[in-house]
Structure 1
Amino acid sequence: MTKKFYSNGKLLITGEYLVLDGAKAFAVPTKMGQDLIVAETQKIGFIHWKSFDFDQSVWFEKNFDTAEIISNEFGEEEQSVATLLKQILFEAHKLNPTVLVNKGFSIETNLTFPKFWGLGTSSTLINNMAQWFEINAFELLKNSFGGSGYDIANAQNNTPITYQLLDGKPFVQQVQFQADFKENLYFLYLNQKQDSKAAIAMYYSKQYAIQEVKENIEAITNEILKGTNQERFEYLLQQHEAYMSAVLEMKTVKEKYFSDFEGTIKSLGAWGGDFVMVVSNSNPKNYFESKGFNTLLHYHEMIL
């Protein structure tokens, strides 16, 4: 018997970092994501795992002994792909001990975006694994990778959402992004994948009294979702960047790389890598290519 599961990728438009402290964040699912194909085999007690990148190249392949997973005896170097995968399987097994016992599996994962883009290689995997094990994906995330969980919510929804941790529990609402200027919205890849765990650790190391900042960011989120014109939308993004620049004690991405750009640029998620949002009245492809940034996608290409 073969089962197939799929989850959407993600982009966090507002509330980066502060979502960890209960701020309401606005996020959108991407047209690209990852699937998980699980087939039972006759090789009881073993899992053959094979992961494909967007171009069908194999980026990870390994055989696992399920007894090692169940007993939490990993053996590999800490933070290797194999070890992290075993940890997720172990935590999933703890939440539902019936899935792995006395069975064998051949498993494939298939990304529809390059794995270095930072659109949710881990979150889509965790959500797919949770579907396979029939367990709560937010609980699996908490027990394995950690994080706010907004990316899991994106994986599960086909519309934009707001996401908030209330008393430590996820609260998700489907919303509409009313913007008649979507033709002027783009997403630019910064040529490097950001380490989310390291970025979160950096945020906590620089955190100060953030309540006022959190309230300001939530006000920006709420106003964007009520609907604005492009001029106001750009102003709100610029304000968001300024608030977070102060919290993180970092230059904005526009200050750092694109100070002469005639338009608005906002970081999405962890600062310093992955994608940023660009607002521009004309196609800025040539400008960014002249700066060495060649991956620019239009809003309608990227967002579900």
Structure 2
Amino acid sequence: MKLLKKKEFLVFLETLAKKNDFYAPTSKKEFGRIRKVDDICFDYTKTEMPAKSIFFPREEIMMRFSEKKIRIVKPRLKRKTIIFGLRSCDLVAIEIMDRIFENDLWYKARRENAILIGMACNKTDDSCFCASFGINPRNGDADLWVINEGESFFLQPKTSVGRKLVNKLLKNIPNTRKKPKKRRLKFKKKVLFNKKELQKLKELNFDNWKECLACGSCTTVCPTCHCFDVVDVVEQDFKRGVRKRVWASCMERDFSRIAGDLILRNKRTDRLRQFVLDKFIYFEHHYGHMGCVGCGRCIETCPVGIDIRKILSK
């Protein structure tokens, strides 16, 4: 483990930003591309938008086609991608997305090109409930784990990639025997639930489900929502075009439209119910992990104040 003074740590980040495609939390409360360390926001609990769009863009061209041929469009990755400032909940979300897109050419190329630098939480928001899923906000699985002590930073490599990065750029700084301060983070609400009891969600209806506007804000900010649509865009001469992948939301009415113009989930309540069942039942069945990491982003962005913790508690 290394212990760096704040100035030394900023120089370390500056070096990373110059030589790589470097992303970090910004004043816009999202993971933005950083060229100067002055643009990094350190005063945050979590970003409003997760980092998933770095690996899974809102829109991307998958292939180009013409009358004669079809060409797969692979991501152009000239430099390493480094993401700094990931919280434990975001790191678990990325691990889940890795399982979902395990065989996806486009996601996999970006993910294998990335180095993840996590940072411990020093405080929680009212909407945070990651501890309900056994996630430790003070210790996450990243290539390099950072603990912010204000005027100094602890750096703990957790993978061979992290060790290589530290050994290369911080070889002149000796390891430290000092340990970070112990912090006990308080959560406003901790949800206690039994996995077997969650099966009852299929049979229950909640009054606040009727309040849902089906705006899709929850699926947009969720770090594990991954639904997409595939669209072919053909040029006017009908001789060439592109196939795109674009984000989709299960909150949209047309999301469940099938042949014969039949919509399976026409009611907004049915769509919210599907969202909840997917996160806490279907997800685990398919991927071995619930689809929620307790980041609380959906709670903060819901315009009518639907709190998923209340649904779980009941």
State the TM-score, normalizing by the size of structure 2.
Answer: 0.27
Larger proportion of helix: 1
Please state which structure has a larger fraction of its residues in strand.
1
Q: Answer with 1 or 2: which has the greater Rg.
A: 2
